[in-house]
Structure 1
Amino acid sequence: MTEKRPIWTKSFVNISISTFFVFVVFYALLTYMPLYVLNELNGTATEAGLVISVFLLSAIIMRFLSGMILEKFGKKRMLLISVFLFAVSTVLYLVVESFTGLLWLRLFHGIWFSLLTTVAGAIAADIIPPERRGEGLGYYGIAMNLAVVVGPFIVLTLKQYVSAHIIFVVLAVIILIGFLCAWAVNVEEESFSKQPKHKLSINDFLEKKTMPIATVGFLIAFAYASVIAFISVYAESLGLIKTASFFFLVYAMAMLIVRPITGRLFDTVGPKVVIIPSIIIFGVGLIALSITEVSWMLLLSGALIGLGYGTLLPSFQSLAIQAADKNRSGYATGTFFAFYDSGIAIGSVLLGLIAGIAGYANLYLMLGVFVILVVFYYMWIASKQDAQTR
């Protein structure tokens, strides 16, 4: 019996901590930016939404270029460059005073967030022993999921006591710690012979082998956008706004409990055993949201969504990377997150329009059914890939 190679190496710990701080800043700004535009810059609701959309747009565009950039310049170099410029972008919020300047900064910030999270995910996948990748990426994904709770908590707490200037200083200090952790990551770069110049093709922007599972990720992210964008508004309409602040806390706790188990099952039994139940549980969580009337039902929905969706993202990322050749892990990561980010962005806009017509309860009911039906699409994709590997 061969001994298991360790997951928790110095480099894995540091890339996980660095990623955690990056996402803390990301989710903190995602929560705070609309409030900042409305209260500090006297902007409109449309302008408040625009500062989020511009960031996501630049991030999505860069996803398609990130694989080519990582291959050309190397993962460690791009990790340090992107985390440094992400930190610089965070500091620049201290000096931007106009809405136009803020838009340009959000565009710039989105570029480095996209590159940074792509290269960090690719490095994490490379560091983890291949036979334990499902488990390892499950642990790595905890950093992103915990940041969903920590980032908003920091800014919403600070907002009550300090100025916007101090909030931006705190976020700058947080990302500085992330930068220092990134320095401590050791990366084994693939050695390639210099490739002759060639005409650009789809392979320079996307990893085609990853696209089937990336489309499943897109559909799940599309549905999850309703949770990110509208849970507070929905809770307020039910008179449960105080409970809403605990929604993501319960989500994170449920995810933390189940993640080590599902990660090991992914590696030892196979992805279907993890992914199919997780999609169903996520769908049931959305249906539970649609019939929520009291606090405990809202928190139960958060637990179900944490159990289901919280397991899916690292599972899909593992499959995306496994589908590609080892030297294209950057392309695979960029392709997967391009689809995932697009699902969040399109869902945030389109589902808002549907909610305006059908109401939030009906929206969550429809999405719950939609997510459960995604199981059949995933099974079809998995069966095709199984047939190809025989």
Structure 2
Amino acid sequence: MASKQSSAAKPRLFTPTFLVAWLINFSMFLVFYLLVTIMALYAVKEFSASNAAAGFASSSFVVGATFARMFSGWLVDSMGGRKILFTTLAVIAVTCAGYLVAGTLVAVIIVRALHGIAYALASTAVMAIAQGAIPSSRRAEGTGYFTMGNTLATAIGPALGLAMSSSLGYTSLFVFSLALAVVSLGLAFTLPKPDTNPASNASKKFQLSDIVHPTVLPIGSFMLLIGLAYAGVITFLNQYSVQENLTTGAGFFFLASAFSMISARTFLGRLQDHRGDNPVIAIGVVCYVICLALLGIATSDWMVVVAGIFSGLGYGTIAPACQAIAVRCVPAHKMGTGISTLFLLSDVGLGLGPILLGYIASNSGFAMMYLGLSALTLIAGIYYIFIHGRKPQSKPHHVQIATVEKID
């Protein structure tokens, strides 16, 4: 009887604002994953780019995103997420059209960078809108459900992007990406108007803490290391699988990853809300170490698929858990800055990854690269213990106190 009353007392999670934000976020991430897995190969095939230049064509998106992250939190906090979201979704639609007319590698790189800038601002805005709609007592659970959109995009995007580019051509892929961007812009107009007016923050001067919020810096630096490891998967898995004749396994890697992510999200968010951060981060780090090690020693397709399962349980667990931590670390009026700080540092890892890891892979091979990333992830897990895991903020009691304070 008591459990039924407790369940009935739970604040509502799936509100119209949350659901619309979820759909916009899914569409944006789907466009990202449609393009990121084919861009390096596109640069080589269409413009005869070198491996380094092709890697930069792919990572220029993240370079633009990293630049925009420095200001995205401040803009969202001072101007409001809704206004920023409208503007940047329109820019994303324009850049998706730009892929259709970019006739040189330099033009592609410029379009990618502009797309990255708009994407960074839009993703910060839509996350802030969603976090504002999530009840504080269900913060990690709601964040987990929200980032399922990222998970589905991860599962659908790479495989669909490769299939469309190989069977229908790159033009069809770019047109489809443009259509998704236009749909996202249309969805933004259905978002309810916020209850609060951000105009009171509009006059606040830009400060260094608006780039990197000090309280989010520790967990953000942890995500930088994890993002560097993740870059090795999303950027080079396709090339690695072709080289090692593991293309069938690579084709199912992201599907397996998505399946395990979705399965884990149904309970890991609630675990974090009730038991604290450490158990969830520990699960994520161990699983991701196993994923990368399996990729490093893979000799059969089934090993790549199993690695995909552990990727979902690894990176797919760590990312939303760290987002919930970041939101909890800042006051409500600095939510945009807290989110952008985490995204900024994660993007630094994703941006450096293709360049740095491309150099390592060229000299040592992909297998050694993945084994090295497995060791890096283990080091990141140890680093987490010192920068957050031993603090009261990571413990269940502190999570429950923070929840009450947010509600008040």
Q: TM-score w.r.t. structure 1 length?
A: 0.92
Structure 1 residues 46 and 7, CA gap change in structure 2 (3 angstroms): same
Alignment of 1:133 with 2:139, yes or no, is yes
> 2:332 — aligned with what?
326
Give the deviation of 1:31 after TM superposition.
2.5
Q: Which residue type is aligned with residue 80 of structure 2? A: G
Alpha carbons 1:75, 1:187 under 8 Å: kept: no
Alpha carbons 1:139, 1:259 under 8 Å: kept: yes
**Which 10-residue stretch deviates more, 308-317 or 178-187?**
178-187
> 1:5 — aligned with what?
11
Structure 1 residues 387 and 105, CA gap change in structure 2 (3 angstroms): closer
Gaps of 5+ in 1: none
Alpha carbons 1:190, 1:327 under 8 Å: kept: no
Structure 1 residues 354 and 40, CA gap change in structure 2 (3 angstroms): closer
CA deviations 1:1-38 (Å, max 9, x no partner) are 55111211111111111111111111112123334333
Return the alpha-carbon distance in structure 1 between the equivalents of residues 204 and 262 of structure 2.
Answer: 46
Structure 1 residues 381 and 47, CA gap change in structure 2 (3 angstroms): closer
Give the deviation of 1:190 after TM superposition.
4.1
Structure 1 residues 351 and 44, CA gap change in structure 2 (3 angstroms): closer
Alpha carbons 1:15, 1:124 under 8 Å: kept: yes
Residue correspondence of structure 1 range 105-254 to structure 2 within 5 A: 105-186=111-192, 188=194, 190-191=196-197, 194=200, 200-254=206-260
Alpha carbons 1:123, 1:187 under 8 Å: kept: no
Give the deviation of 1:149 after TM superposition.
2.5
Q: 2:278 aligns with which of 272, 278, 281?
A: 272
Return the alpha-carbon distance in structure 1 between the equivalents of residues 294 and 219 of structure 2.
Answer: 26
Structure 1 residues 288 and 146, CA gap change in structure 2 (3 angstroms): same
> 2:351 — aligned with what?
345
Give the deviation of 1:250 after TM superposition.
0.7
Q: 1:380 aligns with which of 381, 386, 403?
A: 386
CA deviations 1:364-383 (Å, max 9, x no partner) are 22322332232222122225
Q: 2:91 aligns with which of 85, 89, 101?
A: 85
Q: Which residue type is aligned with residue 132 of structure 2? A: D
Return the alpha-carbon distance in structure 1 between the equivalents of residues 284 and 194 of structure 2.
Answer: 33
Return the alpha-carbon distance in structure 2 between the equivalents of residues 374 and 186 of structure 1.
Answer: 40
CA deviations 1:140-199 (Å, max 9, x no partner) are 111112212322233322224434333322221122222222222235364467469676
> 2:318 — aligned with what?
312
Give the deviation of 1:200 after TM superposition.
4.5
CA deviations 1:341-373 (Å, max 9, x no partner) are 101122222223223333332332232233223
Alpha carbons 2:249, 2:303 under 8 Å: kept: no
CA deviations 1:201-243 (Å, max 9, x no partner) are 3123221111111011111111222212222233233321222
> 1:259 — aligned with what?
265
Return the alpha-carbon distance in structure 2 between the equivalents of residues 285 and 306 of structure 1.
Answer: 9
Give the deviation of 1:87 after TM superposition.
1.3
Structure 1 residues 92 and 289, CA gap change in structure 2 (3 angstroms): closer
Q: 2:36 aligns with which of 17, 24, 30?
A: 30
Alpha carbons 1:132, 1:264 under 8 Å: kept: yes
Return the alpha-carbon distance in structure 1 between the equivalents of residues 392 and 13 of structure 2.
Answer: 27
Give the deviation of 1:81 after TM superposition.
1.0
Return the alpha-carbon distance in structure 2 between the equivalents of residues 336 and 280 of structure 1.
Answer: 21
Alpha carbons 1:127, 1:187 under 8 Å: kept: no
Tell me the SS of whatever aligns to 1:188: coil
Q: 1:18 aligns with which of 14, 21, 24?
A: 24
Tell me the SS of whatever aligns to 1:209: coil
Q: 1:95 aligns with which of 95, 101, 110?
A: 101
Alignment of 1:58 with 2:58, yes or no, is no
Q: Which residue type is aligned with residue 348 of structure 1? A: P
Return the alpha-carbon distance in structure 2 between the equivalents of residues 241 and 265 of structure 1.
Answer: 36
Structure 1 residues 99 and 239, CA gap change in structure 2 (3 angstroms): closer
Structure 1 residues 103 and 377, CA gap change in structure 2 (3 angstroms): closer
Alpha carbons 2:125, 2:336 under 8 Å: kept: yes
Alpha carbons 1:75, 1:189 under 8 Å: kept: no
**Which 10-residue stretch deviates more, 163-172 or 299-308?**
163-172
Structure 1 residues 364 and 69, CA gap change in structure 2 (3 angstroms): same
Return the alpha-carbon distance in structure 2 between the equivalents of residues 198 and 19 of structure 1.
Answer: 28
Tell me the SS of whatever aligns to 2:14: coil
Return the alpha-carbon distance in structure 2 between the equivalents of residues 22 and 198 of structure 1.
Answer: 30
Report sequence identity in percent: 30
CA deviations 1:59-111 (Å, max 9, x no partner) are 10110111121123211111111112111221232333333333322222121
**Which 10-residue stretch deviates more, 38-47 or 214-223?**
38-47
Q: Which residue type is aligned with residue 112 of structure 1? A: A
Gaps of 5+ in 2: 402-408
Tell me the SS of whatever aligns to 1:20: helix
